[in-house]
Chains A and B, each alone.
Chain A
Amino acid sequence: MDSRVLTITSGKGGVGKTTTTANLGTALAMQGKKVAVVDSDIGLRNLDAVLGLENRIVYDLVDVVEGQCRLRQALIKDKRLPELYLLPAAQTRDKNAINSIQMEQLCQQLRQEFDFVLIDSPAGIEQGFRNAIVGADEIIIVANPEMASVRDADRIIGLVEAAGKPEPRLVLNRLRPEMVRRGDMMDVADVIEVLSIELIGIVPEDEMIIVAINKGEPIVYEKRSRAGSAYINAAQRIIGKEVPLEEVEEAPTLMERLRRFVGIGPSMTEKRVRS
């Protein structure tokens, strides 16, 4: 049984862990994998809503761990993909409702049933985070190209290594190509250099993500969305397919080229993102 347990974590909140979990899970299921996405953010349940499954919850992760129900009773089948399941977080409990041993046992149980188990970690570096990574084979860190997020990601890398897990990989989320082009945002190469981490996905900022979450439909269904195709590519890389990393930067406009030439725009030193 070559089942893989991946934890999606970030340290900082609000960088897109839950969106990433939902979309990687959906994309993997679209590839024909049997996938469970697990919301380990106990007390702050959200993965259900991103997947549009919030109305179907009967039992949750804590119920399973405490033996109130069987695992299969708590797993919610996705609306569209028959091979995608959600294990929701408890909403009325807190992060100390379960311990690391219980979480590890839960991961073992899930391995029996699924090709991929994706665990959505809570923000922070406390017990909830430790529970989320304890049973994982691989860690995926989500970060945005801004200081606080990258700094927290670095902390997480240290903690993951200290926990004896293999080197985590990075999904760089909410990259804004036009800001990178102007030199107002760190580019992919900058973040990779600072963190010395392997990149597994580059997801551009995309308004359609908010629309998708509003509708409860993962963005990977949206063919026109660049974020959606970025998640599909990241999922392919997780499976082990060779997909070249996206070229994020758009070509400069004529006006920008002109301004750069006379030296009043951002410098022309090659800032193309290829990493």
Chain B
Amino acid sequence: MGIFDFMTGRKKPTPGEVAKERLKVVLAHDRLKVNPELLEQIKTDLLAVISRRLEVEEQHVQVIIARDDRWDKLHADVPIKRQKISFEWDPPAYTPAANALRGDKIRVEVERLEDE
């Protein structure tokens, strides 16, 4: 890594590395005889299951087959929608900080952020 790379902390893959990564994906597909329709079905099924519990960014869901040294792997990338979670909090009595707040209920709002 050169000193500029070191400073910016990023490394652009070389065309050789890109070819290798693309090959891994395409060979995994070839070997498993997985076609895009099948992956699309798996994606639909996964979405149905996951969205029962979580709100999912449906347009950004990705299901791919990839290959590492030992296994062909199914990778599902399922981004979760940013959501506001709010709840009432009754601070416990035994914490010193909470003593000052006794009797009041505090409204807490948390915004969940997914890395994008």
Contact = CB atoms under 8 A, between A and B. Distances in A.
A126 to B, nearest CB: 18
B4 A263 contact: yes
B96 interface: no
B30 A147 contact: no
A185 B20 CA distance: 9
A90 to B, nearest CB: 33
Interface in A45-64: none
A262 B16 contact: no
A262 B6 CA distance: 10
B1 A194 contact: no
Given A151-B27, A158-B31, A193 B4 contact: no
- Taking chain B's interface residues, is the majority helix, strand, or loop, or is none over half, making it mixed? helix
A96 interface: no
B14 A183 contact: yes
A249 to B, nearest CB: 12
Contacts of A265: 2
A44 B109 CA distance: 75
B20 A190 contact: yes
A216 interface: no
Interface stretch (A104-112, A231-239, A266-274): A266-274
Contact of A186 (B3, B20, B69): B20
Tier of interface size on chain A? 20 to 34
A186 B24 CA distance: 12
A154 B2 contact: no
A245 to B, nearest CB: 19
Contact of A190 (B3, B5, B16, B30): B16
A178 B64 CA distance: 33
B15 interface: yes
A187 interface: yes
A194 B16 contact: no
B30 A266 contact: no
A266 B14 contact: yes
B14 A263 contact: no
B14 A193 contact: no
Interface in A166-214: 179-180, 182-187, 190, 193-194
A186 B5 contact: no
Interface string B9-28: 00100111101101110110
A260 interface: yes
B101 to A, nearest CB: 54
Contacts of B14: 182-184, 266-267
Contacts of A1: none
A28 to B, nearest CB: 32
A262 B22 CA distance: 29
Interface string A252-263: 000000011111
Given A179-B16, A262-B3, 8 more contacts: A146-B19, A147-B23, A155-B30, A180-B16, A185-B16, A190-B17, A194-B20, A263-B4
7 closest Cβ pairs, A-B complex: A263-B2, A183-B14, A263-B4, A263-B5, A190-B20, A186-B16, A184-B15
Interface of B: 1-6, 11, 14-17, 19-20, 22-24, 26-27, 30-31, 69
